[in-house]
């Protein structure tokens, strides 16, 4: 009996040893990874996220907020439910992306292109960046500050770590876009998308006149699928809005996990049937719900000091307004375009087009 047991163990061990590595990995990765867990499988996930350009820190084996944010960015970029949890669908996506990247890397030069370098590879990179609309000078073959800035802009737009170096991840993303657009640049492709879907509507001269002050609209948060109603009550560089009711405020607060935050979230704003890509920051500010609108008050919400009470919708359990940005809108404090808001706007537009929202 003992001999049979030993023989059985040996046969099983040999069988497992002979299985393909990929089969072992797939069968081993059965645990759903999420914030708060730790282990070797978390380290492996972090390594893959770093390879794909979604995580710029070394693996720690602990699934913290940075890892969750990296997973969420990857999910948002590829149309997967953005829950920040690495489950079977997300792991399948990562596996596919890694295979695609390996294929591209093998078929192209493995040289990292960075500032100070020169040669035919740099010329080709500059030509591609110009085709995609990120470089507005002719190729020179020298990787200078203009090329570095163009690479950083491309990386920022495509969710890649912004180091200004054209490595395998960046080059693969460039080639993927070029293969999908032919000879058309980003500006031309964006224009075609705008004409086809109208999701990307510039703020100045466009969305500001669609979502006029006093106009009501519906917000759809693409990461949670929740909706709530708003009214634009103030703002000129972007829309300063308020929730319509206490229930709308409750839903918005739930979207932000129960705590108000300046974090940018990609949303779709529906105004009289027109759907527009936008970005919201969930921090009510510059107003007090219990005091008259526009009256001078000493201390306003969000850490704002004395000033006009920017709170026109009463009884909604929200003190003040929150920000909604659209394509090329600006902040009030700096009068500049906010990169994080613009990234969220484009994420919303891409999601809406991909899902025929």
Check whether residue 46 and residue 161 sit in a common domain. Answer: no
Asked whether residue 207 falls in the same domain as residue 90, the answer is: no
For residue 290, CA distances in Å to 173, 311, 313, 318, 336 come to 51, 9, 10, 10, 32
**Domain identity same for 90 and 125:** no
* Domain end call among 192, 209, 229: 192
The answer as to whether 112 is a domain residue is no
Q: Range of 181's domain?
A: 120-192
Q: Do residues 307 and 300 touch, judged by C-beta distance below 8 A? A: yes
Same domain, 173 and 222: no
Residue 16 lies in a domain: no
> Any idea what the CATH number is for the domain that residue 53 is in?
1.10.101.10
Verify that 100 and 156 share a domain, yes or no. no
State the pLDDT at residue 187.
Answer: 36
My answer on whether 262 and 163 are in the same domain is no
Q: pLDDT tens, 78-122? A: 777 888 999 988 998 888 877 766 654 444 444 688 898 887 788
Question: Per the domain annotation, does 8 fall within a domain?
Answer: no
Backbone angles phi, psi at 13, to 5 degrees: -60, -45
For the packed helices 145-157 and 168-181, what is the interaxial angle rounded to 10 degrees? 70
Asked if the structure places residue 9 within a domain, the reply is: no
pLDDT in tens, 208-219: 999 999 999 999
Supply the pTM of this predicted model. Answer: 0.49
Residue 161 lies in a domain: yes
Please indicate, yes or no, whether residues 187 and 302 belong to a single structural domain of this protein. no
User: Residue 34 has what pLDDT?
Assistant: 92
In a domain, 89, yes or no: yes
Q: Which helix (H) or strand (E) holds 215?
A: none
> Domain check: are 96 and 143 in the same one?
no
Total domains in the chain come to: 3
* Domain match, 135 and 81 both: no
Q: Which of 168, 192, 216 is the last residue of a domain?
A: 192
Give the end-to-end CA distance of the chain in Å, rounded to a whole number. Answer: 65
Instruction: Give the pLDDT score at 206.
Output: 87
- 243 belongs to a structural domain: yes
Helix (H, G, I), strand (E, B), or coil: what is residue 291? coil
Inside any domain, residue 11: no
pLDDT at 270: 94
Q: Give residue for tokens 């969930």.
A: 282
Give every residue of the chain whose pLDDT is below 50, as ranges: 1-29, 104-110, 181-196
Q: d(Cα 312, Cα 115) in Å, to the nearest integer?
A: 52
Do 210 and 135 fall into the same domain? no
**pLDDT the model gives residue 54:** 81
At 169, which helix (H) or strand (E)?
helix 168-181
Q: Are residues 236 and 308 in the same domain?
A: yes
Where among 176, 192, 208 does a domain terminate? Answer: 192
Same-domain check for residues 168 and 40: no
Strand (E) or helix (H) holding 331: none
Q: What is the pLDDT of residue 19?
A: 39
pLDDT of res. 167: 84
Contact 178, 131 (CB under 8 A): yes
Alpha-carbon distance 218 to 355, whole Å?
A: 18
């Amino acid at each position: 009996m003992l001999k049979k047991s030993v023989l059985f163990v040996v046969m099983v061990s040999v069988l497992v040893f002979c299985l393909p590595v990929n089969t072992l990995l797939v069968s081993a990765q059965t645990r759903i990874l999420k914030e708060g867990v730790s282990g070797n499988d978390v380290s492996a996930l972090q390594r893959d996220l770093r390879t794909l350009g979604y995580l710029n820190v070394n693996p720690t084996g602990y699934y913290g907020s940075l890892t969750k944010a990296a997973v969420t960015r990857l999910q948002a970029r590829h149309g997967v439910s953005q829950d920040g949890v690495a489950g079977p669908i997300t792991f399948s996506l990562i596996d596919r992306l890694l295979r695609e990247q390996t294929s591209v890397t093998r078929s192209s030069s493995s040289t990292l292109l960075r500032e100070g370098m020169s040669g035919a590879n740099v010329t080709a990179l500059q030509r591609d960046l110009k085709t995609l609309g990120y470089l507005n000078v002719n190729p020179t073959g020298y990787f200078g500050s203009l090329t570095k800035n163009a690479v950083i802009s491309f990386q920022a737009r495509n969710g890649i770590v912004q180091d200004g170096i054209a490595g395998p991840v960046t080059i693969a993303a460039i080639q993927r876009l070029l293969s999908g657009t032919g000879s058309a640049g980003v500006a031309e492709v964006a224009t075609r998308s705008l004409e086809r879907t109208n999701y990307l509507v510039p703020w100045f001269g466009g969305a500001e006149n669609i979502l006029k002050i006093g106009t009501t609209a519906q917000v759809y948060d693409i990461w949670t699928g929740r909706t709530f109603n708003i009214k634009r009550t103030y703002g000129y560089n972007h829309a300063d809005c308020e929730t319509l009711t206490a229930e709308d405020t409750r839903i918005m607060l739930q979207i932000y996990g129960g705590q108000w935050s300046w974090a940018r979230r990609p949303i779709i704003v529906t105004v009289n049937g027109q759907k527009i890509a936008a970005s919201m920051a969930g921090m009510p500010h510059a107003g007090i719900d219990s005091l008259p609108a526009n009256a001078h008050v000493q201390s306003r919400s969000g850490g704002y000091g004395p000033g006009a009470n920017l709170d026109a919708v009463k009884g909604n359990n929200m003190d003040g307004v929150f920000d909604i940005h659209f394509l090329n809108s600006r902040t009030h404090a700096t009068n500049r375009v906010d990169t994080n808001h613009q990234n969220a706007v484009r994420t919303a537009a891409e999601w809406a087009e991909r899902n025929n929202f």
